[in-house]
Amino acid sequence: MEISAGAVKELRERTGAGMMDCKNALVEHKGDVEKAIDYLREKGLARAAKRASRSASDGRIFSYIHTNGKLGTLLELNCETDFVAKTDEFQNLGRELCMQIAAAAPQFLTPEDVSAEVLEREREIYRQQALEEGKPANIVDKIADGKISKFYETSCLMEQAWIRDGDKKIKDLVVDAIAKLGENIVVRGFSRFSIGE
């Protein structure tokens, strides 16, 4: 099947993948751009998983101060080399993550960072809510577990829906950057400051 240069260019712009990867994906999926995008994303996920074990000891500190001067964020974003830390893609990722932290106010980085005490307190609150709503005792724990998943999605930065695209989580945004830049990227930590909080 003949693949036009325009189709390859469009796919490259939408995914950031290399020219030959885009052409091969389109050939393999008979010109279907959406299937080619899915294929390239899956391939990127696999590459990102391989890179996760590599040391990310370089990077940048990013900051954001809201226009009213009453809200600010700091973020440490790591990568493997200074070269990648200086790229526009890495800089954009840092800015996007700072905006996410300012807008969505996460309390934790990942679910693993939530202490056992906080988790148990949340679980007990959800159990009591379910009992007060008259739910049967045998399903109260399942209801609480479901609400814990929702708690992670609102309280943990990496599990949050991206403010610019609710179909994508922050961890997906980072994985996409890993696939594009070819290096392991790690969100090391963040702080959010708000006057009066």
Structure confidence by residue, pLDDT tens digits, 172-183: 999 889 888 888
Q: According to the model, what pLDDT value does residue 103 have?
A: 95
Q: Is 67 helix (H, G, I), strand (E, B) or coil?
A: coil
**What is the maximum span of the chain, computed from C-alpha positions, in angstroms?**
64
Domain positions in the chain: 5-51, 58-109+156-194, 115-154
Domain 5-51 classification at class level: mainly alpha
What percentage of residues in the chain have a pLDDT greater than 90?
50
> Is residue 140 within 8 Å of residue 166, measured between CB atoms?
no
List pLDDT tens digits, range 69-91.
999 999 999 999 999 999 999 99
Distance CA 99, CA 80 (A): 23
Spatial CA neighbour of 148 closest among 156, 138, 137: 156
CATH of 115-154, one of 3.30.950.10, 1.10.286.20, 3.40.50.720, 3.40.640.10: 1.10.286.20
SS3 163: coil
Superfamily of domain 58-109+156-194 in CATH is Elongation factor Ts, dimerisation domain (3.30.479.20)
Residue type, 115: S
Taking the whole predicted model, whether its pTM rises above 0.75 is answered as no
Q: Helices (DSSP H) in the chain: which residue ranges?
A: 5-15, 19-28, 33-51, 82-85, 88-104, 116-132, 140-155, 170-181
Residue for token digits 């809201």? Answer: 66
User: Which of 32-41, 47-56, 119-128 has the least mean pLDDT?
Assistant: 47-56
Residue 45 has pLDDT above 60, yes or no: no
Collapse the DSSP code of 133 into the 3-class scheme (helix H, G, I; strand E, B; otherwise coil) and give the result.
coil
CA distances from 110 to 83, 120, 144, 151 (A): 27, 16, 19, 11
Q: Which two tokens stand for residue 75?
A: 């973020």
